Structure 1
């Protein structure tokens, strides 16, 4: 009996072992099937902003096991677009791509390879997302106000100023100039009293000296209500309109260039590095430059709105919100679309979105992100809170944004004409006339 009992027990143990092994195999198979959904994001972020984005993606991948985001970076928007065209042809598109504002978002959304974000959000809503700029993110919205892309890199042009150099020049670092005329007086003191070799540098010169000269002075940038007014349900054709305000401003900048007040001007972010090194007293650039400036050592700076002309307006207006956004691509399975929105929802969380805003200078994604940033961040950078908070106001007709066909091809032309005028090679009036004529011809092309 004992032997029979032991034999039965032995068989039971072996059977139990087989069940355990079989169960373990099933569990292993389950784990295999539960591998994270892979999504790919292509971007053109650089320097500190690139590092911040990579850090957040690593954090997202670490916090959960359902989705894994991989990044691919490109040196220029043009390189990304070329790769995207090839990917569409090969039917191997990424899930999200960063595209610059071309001031024709509805044209971008018409491409078969693009999936408008509002379609994804209708299926997979981002809960409790009260967007910070519902009215002024026109660069990612259609005429019906629907969100076409994720406005992750929304920014505005601002004026940064070096507080140490302001003190050295005997200027009040807590009261930077509000008008271009007053700024000239400060630049003269920076040049003469503080012996600063670079009193003023300007990046993103088309945004600063052409596009936003209009809304800051409460004027329209283009005809037909900045190209937004519709005719028979479609946006009306728009053309640039440079009046005496522009002639005055471009002439002033040419004078500053001759007198060594304006020493650097480009349509990219090259001057940001000079300001970050403490070499320049004032920098006008997009707010997205903040990331590089915060990463600089021994740099104390403040933020102010772009100057205005008090002869043109008694109360300055708000700038255009522009920048770039993450656009969703078509052709992916449902599980990837859902995973894409899950990633965007995570980026929208108050703490995460606040960190992104604070580290990069891009505008807050949501109201909650703005509130989460108030105490710990804005006290470090004089003027920053006031500039960001001012963008919450309902935009006027002049600050809603603008629409111009083929603007991505027009902008380089505008930048070249500014260079010609600032450098004294072409009279300001002639340069602006050339810009208008060339822009009109390009805008009429298909």
Structure 2
């Protein structure tokens, strides 16, 4: 009996061996997507996992972009970092300076033997995440840009042309006056105010945001802010006057103001193209998407808007088999059909030109007017002032922008005083970053 039991046990073990050897390699992916975009992220992981049996991507929401980065730093120090970390664009310089914490995505793809051609990506997107030596550092994922949304039903009620969005800032302020007169309690609001009203505003008007090509130049560490120019002061002052008149209503930092537009409370908003999925699913009114407004007397405007959203960074210290899984997942995300479907679902940019072409041929843009706005704003020829903005400590600088602009909207200080303060406080952080990282 004993011998028979041993033989049976050995047989069971023998059968189990192939199963153990076929265990999937798990790839941990930390992200910051919420609501409809969280559903999108989960679906992407599910599609990849079902497309093959060797790897399993496990997406985990880790809080806001700031919280996610903080958690990843702590996890890396303790040896428990994820394989893939989603980092918003203003964290790019910080990630680049984190020597030894990440592995360039170009290196990951090459060593895994996965075909990867950075030239296939929209130049403004690929260029932002590429090192001076030409190597792509992170994988463009939910790349977005700032666009203009408006409530067509509210426009009709105010006697405005609902089929034509205001193209210039004077037209926007005039529309806000008419919306207010028609009884609208919130004619206009703004999300991500530093991104939309300072960063994108600068590149859209082809004016300098910071020296050394906004930090993207050869000596980018030495960049200093230039956002207290006469044009910047004029614009923030115009918004302050609109706020005092009740024609612009401040609704909070980051993405918080978006809920007021979706609910029909605010009639106009400037925010991320990645907000489209939420509007398409939840807005109970007719809406329009359009390019950002500009000042028609500014030479060179409109130019192009700046990249937003986030990219995927590969953390260091993982096994070769796990990096192969990361490469395979990025290969999946790069597929034209996957890119096109994601773009149509979320409003984020189709980061490859092939995906843009497929979307256009499918008739999606024709059926959904304005959904090509983000792409057309980004694929224009860029200048030294409009390539993008890559500054150290920029997460903290954005907080400074919020603090100072909030004092303007509440009438506590002038536009010039606020922007001078942003430059002074921001430059102090830039100097600190330069001292800590120059020569690394």
TM over 0.5: yes
Alignment partner of 1:266 is 2:252:
yes
Matched residue, 1:30: 18
Cα distance in 1 for partners of 2:430, 2:251 equals 26
Matched residue, 2:4: none
Residues 219, 61 of structure 1: alpha-carbon distance in 2 compared, 3 angstrom cutoff: same
Matched residue, 2:264: 278
Cα distance in 1 for partners of 2:353, 2:114 equals 14
Alignment partner of 1:149 is 2:135:
no
- Residues 51-79 of structure 1: per-residue CA shift (max 9 Å, x gap): 11112212222222111111211222233
Matched residue, 1:346: 332
Matched residue, 1:289: 275
Shift of 1:148: 0.7
Matches within 5 A, 1:86-105: 86-102=74-90, 104-105=92-93
Residues 164, 110 of structure 1: alpha-carbon distance in 2 compared, 3 angstrom cutoff: same
- Residues 20-52 of structure 1: per-residue CA shift (max 9 Å, x gap): x96x86554222201111110001111111111
Give 5+ residue unaligned stretches, structure 2: 1-6
Give 3-state SS (helix, strand or coil) of 1:108's partner: helix
Question: 8 Å contact 2:264–2:283 — kept in the other structure?
Answer: no
Between stretches 116-125 and 335-344, larger displacement belongs to 116-125
Alignment partner of 1:383 is 2:370:
yes
The structure 2 residue matched to 1:79, chosen from 49, 57, 67, is 67
Cα distance in 2 for partners of 1:319, 1:243 equals 19
Matched residue, 1:117: 105
Matched residue, 1:43: 31
Question: 8 Å contact 2:215–2:390 — kept in the other structure?
Answer: yes
The structure 2 residue matched to 1:306, chosen from 292, 302, 323, is 292
Shift of 1:365: 2.2
Question: 8 Å contact 2:188–2:248 — kept in the other structure?
Answer: yes
Cα distance in 2 for partners of 1:313, 1:389 equals 20
The structure 1 residue matched to 2:230, chosen from 238, 244, 256, is 244
The structure 2 residue matched to 1:162, chosen from 132, 151, 157, is 151
Cα distance in 2 for partners of 1:377, 1:38 equals 35
Cα distance in 2 for partners of 1:104, 1:62 equals 32
The structure 1 residue matched to 2:120, chosen from 127, 131, 137, is 131
Shift of 1:107: 5.1
The structure 2 residue matched to 1:214, chosen from 192, 202, 205, is 202
The structure 1 residue matched to 2:408, chosen from 407, 421, 432, is 421
* TM-score, with structure 2 as normaliser: 0.90
Shift of 1:371: 2.1
Residues 311, 366 of structure 1: alpha-carbon distance in 2 compared, 3 angstrom cutoff: same
Cα distance in 2 for partners of 1:443, 1:213 equals 21
The structure 2 residue matched to 1:323, chosen from 309, 318, 333, is 309
Shift of 1:286: 1.3
Question: 8 Å contact 1:109–1:116 — kept in the other structure?
Answer: no
* TM-score, with structure 1 as normaliser: 0.89
Residues 362, 386 of structure 1: alpha-carbon distance in 2 compared, 3 angstrom cutoff: closer
Shift of 1:335: 0.5
Cα distance in 2 for partners of 1:263, 1:106 equals 33
Between stretches 106-115 and 31-40, larger displacement belongs to 106-115
Between stretches 169-178 and 317-326, larger displacement belongs to 169-178
Question: 8 Å contact 1:226–1:401 — kept in the other structure?
Answer: yes
Shift of 1:266: 3.1
Alignment: residue pair count: 424
Cα distance in 1 for partners of 2:283, 2:125 equals 34
Alignment partner of 1:401 is 2:380:
no
